[in-house]
Amino acid sequence: MKIRAIPALLWCVFFLFPVLAMPSRAHASDWLPVSQQDLAMKDNPKHKGDHAMILWREVQFNEITGTEEFYVRIKVFDEEGGKYGDYVTEAVDPSMVTTGNVRGRTIHPDGLVVLFAGNALDQTVLKYNGARLVDKTIALPSVTPGSILEVRYTINWGVNVLLEHYWQVGSSLFQRKAHFSIRPSMGADFLRWHTVLIPNSQMKLNGSVATLDIEDMPGYEQEPFMPPDSTVIAGVYFYHAAEVLSTDDFWKQEGNEWRHEVEAYKNWLGGAEKRELAAMLSPTDTNLVKLQKIYDRVQSFKNLNYAPEKTLKEIHREKQKYNESIDDIIQRGYGWHNQLNRLFLGLARGAGLDATLVRVPDRSEAYLDKTLLSGGQIFREIVLVRADGKNIYLDPGTRFCPFGVLPWEYTSVIGLQMDKVSPTWVTVPTPDPENARISRKAVLQLQKDGSVQGEVNITFFGHEAMDRRLAERDLDDAGRKKDMEDLLRAWLPANGTVELQKVSDWQTSNLPLVATYQVNIPGYAGVTGRRTILPTAFFGGAYVNPFKASRRTNSIVFPLPYIDADDVTINMAPDLHIESLPNSKSQKNGLGEFLAECKSENGVLHATRQFTLRRISLEAKYYPAVQAFFGQVATTQDEQAVLVKTAK
């Protein structure tokens, strides 16, 4: 089970450029002794009701040898806690770093030891800009309630390599005791650290070794719509510096070094660029037309961030060179995310447009902390263009990203803008809800037995279309069909049948994605004598309240503003007429608004509803209001119209 966070791994990595069980009662020398009290423990004495807890955890990093040793001991209390038997190591880039000497064992309450004797399985967890993160999973044998689980492994970083490093100190599990140490290769005088949710005074220097010891640290609480892990999980960042720069001086230096690197990369208006622009643009094109044409052209290049593993292995096997200039990208026809955005920047400037780059954090992983002096926090590059008096943020380096839209991860954040004089901080705006809209439309026929049949069209706009295309990009037609049908089923009554008829266009970026279905819902309406009870929220499953807990620990953070809009037409038999309809519902507050209406005319019931989320971040103290708002919306799922059969 994963008990660590990927953001920490990205922070350090991207800026480097069948199971067998063997019973035993012997204790290997590299495992710590196990006490009878721990073997007999039935519950966490400091936090009753836990499914599992960490008894001991140790991380020792030696920069001189380039090795990092991990050791964890977990006590399982019940069946739910048994999931931690599937243990996942820290993820690394295997082209530069290796994970080895993975060992594990299960200790039963009677002291019987069952060793893990299989192979750890590799799994790619992320690909970005030529780097790949891979973790290893081991399935510990014979895990039962009462078991103690132990895992050891080593990460080899390379001898005397200077790293920006990170300890994720917090865990999803309660930790009884943990010890962390780092031996820097250049000595303690050059080692700097930055603590998160830990008093800086807990860090100690023992000679040239920095250490941290913790006791009885509660696990962080998992809640829906949480802030990024890096803001709610205790940790320590390490970096090396001969001198301590002020925050302003550091980011000025970081921005200037980045600008020089980009300028060297651009190789403005090489032969390939000139040919591209000449073939692409017309003298009569407006600035916006130029931008759109350049955007579409850049998105036509092969994007290696989304290439299957087979393609990446072929590139590696054929020893295809890393793109070192814009001309390289054009001539080779492929690039990674940041490379493609630099290509766009070069072509836009070559076309006479005012364009620059902005480095941003990925707020699904971390927020920018300016006091943490590491450029690794902001390694995504997006494009800022000033045209017709407007600032336009663009990301052609993300596949299927529509023109004028950014992935939500790069919005509502502070970014570092590249500038000829000095880098400047900018705030990337929050997107408009219309850029993440799902429109559901149904035209149905109510049958005498209460079933309904008809056509459903779902249209995904902006972010929603991009996310759906990305999610389905590697699937065949059968896989896409199943996913799209499952998506609609989740919004409909459980007993319905759904058949996908067609999807408009999987491969474009700038058009909505439209899916067309035929549906049949037996018993949708209840028929009792002359009356028919007809639910009016046909897509009610889309409005489930995600906030069920009675209390909240963390602030509430939604990915982005969005709109859900439903339009349902139900044609009734001529001998039915409306006896009653649910009243219109309308809510509006600082979070968003909701409107539900139901009308009838000439034997046709017409129900509409629209939910708009406008605010994406609220403190935990506002949880009762958020819970109430979503709860009131969810209750409208149960609203009904009453139909009466006309007497003959």
Choose among 361, 420, 416: nearest CA to 384.
Answer: 416
Let me know how long the chain is. 648
In the predicted structure, residue 172 carries a pLDDT above the cut 70: yes
Are the CB atoms for 56 and 178 separated by under 8 Å? yes
Average pLDDT, the chain: 90
Residue 358 and residue 259 in contact, taking contact as beta carbons nearer than 8 Å: no
The rounded distance, in Å, linking the Cα atoms of 558 and 626 is 12
CATH number for the domain running over 247-429: 3.10.620.30
Residue 310: is its pLDDT beyond 80?
no
| Model pLDDT, residue 128 | 60
| 3-state SS, one letter per residue, for 246-299 | CHHHHHHHHHHHHHHHHHHHHCCCCHHHHHHHHHHCCCCCCHHHHHHHHHHHHH
What is the share, in percent, of the chain residues with pLDDT greater than 70?
91
Quick one: pLDDT at residue 320? 64
Specify the pairing of strand 235-240 against strand 148-156: unpaired
Contacts of 602 (CB under 8 A, 6+ apart): none
pTM here is: 0.88
CATH 3.30.420.340 fits 434-645, yes or no: no
Q: Mean pLDDT across the stretch 42-58?
A: 97
Residue with tokens 């920490």: 8
Report, as an integer, the average pLDDT of 109-136.
84
Alpha helices in 5-100 (DSSP H): 6-13, 36-40
What is the C-alpha separation between 20 and 18, in angstroms, rounded? 7
Find residue 563's DSSP bridge partners: 437, 612
Q: Is 196 left (phi over 0), alpha (psi -120 to 50) or beta?
A: beta
**pLDDT tens string 432-470:** 999 999 999 999 999 999 999 999 999 999 999 999 999
Instruction: Provide the pLDDT for residue 295.
Output: 98
Enumerate the H helices of 45-191 as residue ranges. Answer: none
What does the pLDDT look like over 53-64, one tens digit per residue? 999 999 999 998
Which sequence spans correspond to the domains of the chain?
Answer: 6-240, 247-429, 434-645
Whether residue 228 is predicted with pLDDT greater than 70 in this model: the reply is yes
pLDDT of residue 80: 96
By the 8 A CB rule, do 163 and 12 touch?
yes
Over residues 545-600, the pLDDT tens digits come to 999 999 999 999 999 999 999 999 999 988 898 999 999 999 999 999 999 999 99
Q: Is it the case that residue 321 has pLDDT exceeding 60?
A: yes
Sheet with strand 121-128: strands edge to edge: 86-88, 131-139, 121-128
* Greater pLDDT, 300 or 573: 300
CB 64 within 8 A of CB 187: no
Q: Report DSSP letters for 371-405, one per residue.
A: TS--GGG--EEEEEEEETTEEEEE-TTSTTPPTT-
Determine the average pLDDT of the residues in 428-434. Answer: 97
Residue carrying structure tokens 């600008």: 259
pLDDT given at position 315: 64
Distance, in Å, from the CA atom of 484 to the CA atom of 519, rounded to the nearest integer, reads 13
Helix crossing, 247-266 with 337-350: angle to 10°?
70
Residue 2 has pLDDT above 50, yes or no: no
Q: Please check whether the two domains, 6-240 and 434-645, share a CATH topology.
A: no
Which tokens belong to 92?
A: 């690394």
For the segment 172-191, the average pLDDT, to the nearest whole number, is 91
pLDDT at 158: 83
Burial class (CB in 10 A: 0-12, 13-18, 19+), 300: exposed
Lowest mean pLDDT among 23-27, 402-406, 426-430: 23-27
Classify domain 6-240 at the CATH class level: mainly beta
Q: Sort 580 into a burial class: Cβ within 10 Å, 0-12 / 13-18 / 19+.
A: exposed
| Tally of CB atoms within 10 A around 585 | 16
Residue pLDDT, tens place only, 613-644: 999 999 999 999 999 999 999 999 899 999 99
Statement: residue 15 has pLDDT above 80: no
pLDDT level of residue 307 (50, 70, 90 thresholds) = confident
